[in-house]
Amino acid sequence: MTHKTLQDALEWRYATKKFDPTKKISDADWVQLRNSLTLAPSSYGVQPWRFLVVENPEVRNQLKPVSWNQTQVTDASHYVVFQYKEKMDPDFVQKFIQRMADVRETSLESLDGYKNLLIENLVKAPEEKIRVWSQRQTYIAMGFLLQTAALLRIDATPMEGFDPAAYDKILGTEGSGWKTVATVALGYRHSEDPLQHQKKVRFNEADLIHYVK
C-alpha cells in the first residue's frame, strides 16, 4: 500500500447519510470487514465486546424508530451492533485463558500468573470502572472496521443516535451481560446523498497534533 492509497481512502470516506439499498457488500469484502473486527486489539487482549450483524429486515425495521428514524438502519447493506461486556467475571477470564492456551499450544498452568492478573485487575475492579473500560475498548474495534471499510471503498457510518436500552430489548439481549453502545452501517452511498459532495471539515493539523520534546 502506498501513502497515497491510504491518504485517498481517508479523504474519500465520510459518514454516509443515505445508502443505496440496492447495492450489497460482496462476500469477499465482508470477510475482510469481519477480520478487522476479530483482529482488533484490546487491553490485556481479552476482547470485552461482541458484534451483532442484524440481517433480519423485520428486526431492522423495529430498530429504525428507536434510532431517530435514520434510514441507514434499514438501507445499508450490513448493520453491525457493537455490544460491550458490562461486567468481567471468572468464567469469561477462564474462557480467554483457555483460548490462549489452545492457540499458543501451551498449558493452562503456565498461564496461571496471567489469569490471576486478569482476575485482580478486571474481575475485582469496581463495576463502573469496568463498564467504562469495556465501552472504550469497543470503540477501538469500531475504528478498525471504519478504516478497513475506507480502504475497500465501502461506505460506513458510525452511529450513537439511538436508544441503547430499546436495542437490547429488541435484540433479546437484556440481562445477558452484554449492552449495546454503538452501531456501524455499511454499504454504498446513494447518488442522491448530498453529503458526499461536501468538503471534509477538520481542524488544521497544528491545532490537533502537538509534539512533546
Question: What grid cell was written down for 69?
Answer: 428514524
- Report the distance separating Cα 184 and Cα 173, nearest Å: 18
Give the model confidence (pLDDT) of 118-135 as tens digits. 999 999 999 999 999 999
Give the model confidence (pLDDT) of 50-104 as tens digits. 999 999 999 999 999 999 999 999 999 999 999 999 999 999 999 999 999 999 9
Give the model confidence (pLDDT) of 11-49 as tens digits. 999 999 999 999 999 999 999 999 999 999 999 999 999
Task: Fill in the amino acid letter for 178.
Answer: W
pLDDT at site 12:
97
Report helix, strand or coil for 198.
coil
Report helix, strand or coil for 79.
strand
CA–CA distances in Å: residue 34 to residues 11, 144, 149, 196: 23, 10, 10, 25
**In the structure, what pLDDT confidence band is assigned to residue 195 with cuts at 50, 70 and 90?**
very high
Instruction: State the residue for C-alpha cell 448493520.
Output: 79
What are the structural domain ranges in the chain? 3-88+125-196
pTM, rounded to two decimals: 0.96
Residues 106-130 as b/e (b if ≥16 CB within 10 A, e otherwise) read: eeeeebeeebeebbeebeeeeeeeb
Question: What grid cell was written down for 9?
Answer: 481512502
- Domain 3-88+125-196: state its class: alpha beta
With contact defined as beta carbons under 8 Å apart, do 90 and 124 qualify?
no
Question: What grid cell was written down for 189?
Answer: 452511498
- Report the distance separating Cα 114 and Cα 116, nearest Å: 5
Rg (CA), the chain: 19
pLDDT at site 85:
98
Q: Which DSSP symbol is given to 121?
A: I
- Report the distance separating Cα 116 and Cα 134, nearest Å: 19
